[in-house]
Amino acid sequence: MPIRERGVIPAKYKLLMAMAAASADGVGAFADEARAAGASDAEIAEALHVRRTLGRPRAPRGRRPTRLGGVRAAAAACCALLIAIVAIVESAPPGTADPCADVAPAPAAGCGGPTQDGPPRPPWLGAIEQRDPQFVESYLPMRQRILSDGAIPSKYKLLIGMVTDAIAAHPDGVKGLADNARGAGASEAEITEAVEVGYLFGGTAALVMGVNAFKG
């Protein structure tokens, strides 16, 4: 299987990316493969946390959704994402604002480094803030906590998010997360391999969308 071939990204992180982007019935299999490749239970748990917070579900293999079905699936995914965020926000501890939101540039110190006063925020967050400021106040520190270095280095968490956005056809998210991954230390070769992982499980459409990760 191509994902197991050697490259600049360790196989276990490629498999964690695949697990985050997989349909619900494929998560367990990729988790088992990631364990076999050396991933710890803590790394798998963190990847699943990123999946719940940033990931978008994809259609099970073997189905080719229609255009209308794709729109419905995207709407359902957005609703599921918002529900998951709200559920996590309720238990999120207080903290500082997140410099690593989808389309905001990462600070020079990377996503795991210290934050600056008034860090840039993603443009879409402003529309929500006008309606629910308290949600934004809780969401930003929660996101910072999830994307900081942990069992999984920050750069791989951001690449996981980039892969799920590529499969979900979210170009701004792909570009923003790729830039943030660079800020957290990801190399161009690592970003390229992450795009290839997206192609392996999302097809040509994900590959075309993944091109948004490249500069120039």
Residue 200 pLDDT: 81
Rounded to the nearest 10 degrees, the angle between the axes of helix 154-167 and helix 11-21 is 40
Residue 168 pLDDT: 83
How many domains is the chain built from? 1
Residue 55 pLDDT: 54
For residue 175, give the CATH number of its domain. Answer: 1.20.1290
Using one digit for the tens of pLDDT, what is the confidence trace for 3-43? 555 678 888 888 888 887 777 777 888 888 888 888 999 98
Using one digit for the tens of pLDDT, what is the confidence trace for 86-123? 443 344 444 433 444 444 444 444 444 444 333 356 66
**183 touches 111 (CB < 8 A):** yes
Containing domain of residue 141, as a range?
Answer: 2-213
The rounded distance, in Å, linking the Cα atoms of 37 and 33 is: 6
| pTM of the predicted protein model | 0.59
The residues near 7 (Cβ < 8 Å, ≥ 6 apart) are 14, 189, 193
